[in-house]
Structure 1
């Protein structure tokens, strides 16, 4: 169902493959991870219709594209599994057991897959090729989001319940520092030689020096600032604000961090993706919906999906050059 609104301002078990219409190239798809339903909604981006619903075990949340772009991993923390999909069609390719994968990402040099185990309170480092566990860090409580320095030297992980940011050395796999960062940190993004970290309990973001972890700037974005995304042209920094009753998407200048526009959006914006036509696809965590918003007008339509939509992946991202992550869209 589609509704329209105006805004105010490793070895895998083989699985069955769904049938898609034989029209040559597969249609561009959006995959939405419904954390409350243990499903993934696959949406045809052209027709805005759901063309498949893929089951997971318990709680799908985030995604990571393998460096060769052949497999899309979706983490299922409660199910202790990684689910694999064809990144062009959404067809399932099986699953592999892995401990409590919540948020995850590949190091830029493609050597490691790093996983935040939010429920079990550790940060795990896996070998990319084999998915063998290489290192486990007991870094704090509720590891939430993570990112890397572009040279693959350092990794950074927010510890949501410890109110800290943790960093470790990717070359020696040893801890670097753990620093207080603010109440309930979440999204982490490397930007212009610094780190941007969302602080949900303080309604904004902080800029952090990656060398020693000290805060260099603060910026209010809206209640419950949760995750941060950089558009593909490096021109806009988006922050999803999802405090109950006050939900919005903020657009910032990525250099000055000045808030340029705030889009009020009902339903708790969480993760986003940007389509080639410029429309922003937004998972609405508190509603069973995905919003498709025109950033010029702020108007948006919604597509009904499963409960608690969380991560969102657009297959159109495959046409882009360079490294692809959920935060650099």
Structure 2
């Protein structure tokens, strides 16, 4: 979520409206616990045999029953195997990226970048980290081998950044411009700008075959379904909650469902992406924001920014099984899982800090002071064959 004045006003208005209506809204407009869970639990990870007719140019689906099968602990691509392990933290108010050594929990560098860096995004080919300087209208490349920043590339309103599964295009989430901008993945030259009638396009994830992706629109409480090859919006739906503010999007390991965090509804929308019908809802905690898959594909970590907690969702059981509270509170936001799967790294958006959390016990291992407004931090390198963008969606 951006931090411009306009965005803050929009977000505050939406939150105030939603909170006012929580006690007065009709039963039909409020998410209920008895409507929350999927009718069928996703299959447990296993060796798939069926073939997936993927987007031309996209790598084959390694295991249709587990889209994250290439993300196992320390299963690093040869491209990144020699890269030093680092945590890159964009500080939106300080216009810097803090670099942390995850072994020592020490800051080893501070990189000046453009105005209001929002996310640090691994490129499709895994060779570059792109810093999204939203108000600076630029992308700063960082070489993850050396940790050095290169010359910024002019890109208007790059709030967030994704890559099509075939590696051809970068998709810029131009939130304030109300556009999805398809650009050449290497030169960043515009190929097609797709207008969006919703407000605040921000996060996304792709279908198993890569032929479409789901996008959240935080300021109008809507979601989009976009055809990847045609670069065309196929469908648009308003979430069934007044004042909804959808954030991060993640697909289930079996590829059947999309999970969409909602900061104001305080939980997850559960969507059948193929059918794009009315989603179900699952309450997780105040300010649900970021979604991260465990290295064994069995759990999903949900950061509840408004209450300083992390909920744990079990895919096989199709329910929440744990909730971890940060000692002394905090504002857990965006991040990623370490290469070995043992640590969940999250930025503390409103506390100028970063949290390292043990994924086995939920214990806070470290709390590191960084710049002001830390947001979409990237743990790098991570396992996987290629990156779909954001702070690290790997397949």
- Measured against the shorter chain, the TM-score band is 0.7 to 0.9
Rounded Cα–Cα distance in structure 1 between residues aligned with 2:264 and 2:83: 42
Q: Is the 8 A contact 2:217 2:246 kept in 1?
A: yes
The offset of 1:233, in angstroms, is: 1.8
* Cα displacement string for residues 164-202 of structure 1 (whole angstroms, at most 9, x for unaligned residues): 101221121222000012411111112222211112111
Rounded Cα–Cα distance in structure 2 between residues aligned with 1:215 and 1:127: 34
**Moved runs in structure 1, 4+ residues, more than 3 A?**
none
- Which has the larger share of strand? 1
Select which of 191, 199, 204 maps to 2:262.
199
The runs of 5 or more residues in structure 2 that have no matched partner are: 1-81
* Aligned twin of 1:217: 280
Residue 247 (structure 2) pairs with residue 186 (structure 1): yes
Task: Specify which structure has the bigger relative contact order, considering alpha-carbon pairs within 8 angstroms and separated by 6 or more residues.
Answer: 2
Rounded Cα–Cα distance in structure 1 between residues aligned with 2:221 and 2:313: 24
How is 1:30-179 mapped onto 2 (pairs within 5 angstroms)?
30-139=87-196, 140-179=198-237
Q: Is the 8 A contact 2:130 2:141 kept in 1?
A: yes
Rounded Cα–Cα distance in structure 2 between residues aligned with 1:220 and 1:238: 14
The offset of 1:112, in angstroms, is: 1.4
Select which of 318, 333, 337 maps to 1:270.
333
Q: Secondary structure at the match of 1:215?
A: coil
Q: 1:327 to 1:217 in 2, by over 3 A?
A: farther
Residue 348 (structure 2) pairs with residue 290 (structure 1): no
Q: 1:44 to 1:121 in 2, by over 3 A?
A: same
Q: 1:225 to 1:106 in 2, by over 3 A?
A: same
The offset of 1:116, in angstroms, is: 0.9
Q: Is the 8 A contact 2:341 2:359 kept in 1?
A: no
Q: Secondary structure at the match of 2:124?
A: coil
Rounded Cα–Cα distance in structure 1 between residues aligned with 2:124 and 2:176: 27
Q: Secondary structure at the match of 2:104?
A: coil
* Aligned twin of 2:345: 281
* Aligned twin of 2:377: 312
Rounded Cα–Cα distance in structure 1 between residues aligned with 2:186 and 2:392: 23
Q: 1:224 to 1:257 in 2, by over 3 A?
A: farther
* Aligned twin of 1:247: 308
Rounded Cα–Cα distance in structure 2 between residues aligned with 1:277 and 1:135: 37
CA-atom RMSD in angstroms: 1.8
Q: How many residues align?
A: 301
Residue 291 (structure 2) pairs with residue 228 (structure 1): yes
Q: Secondary structure at the match of 2:264?
A: helix
The TM-score normalised by the length of structure 2 is: 0.72
The offset of 1:161, in angstroms, is: 1.2
Q: 1:287 to 1:97 in 2, by over 3 A?
A: same
Q: 1:125 to 1:27 in 2, by over 3 A?
A: closer
Rounded Cα–Cα distance in structure 1 between residues aligned with 2:278 and 2:260: 10
The TM-score normalised by the length of structure 1 is: 0.86
Q: Secondary structure at the match of 1:137?
A: strand
Q: Is the 8 A contact 2:125 2:167 kept in 1?
A: no
Rounded Cα–Cα distance in structure 2 between residues aligned with 1:302 and 1:167: 38
Q: Secondary structure at the match of 2:114?
A: coil
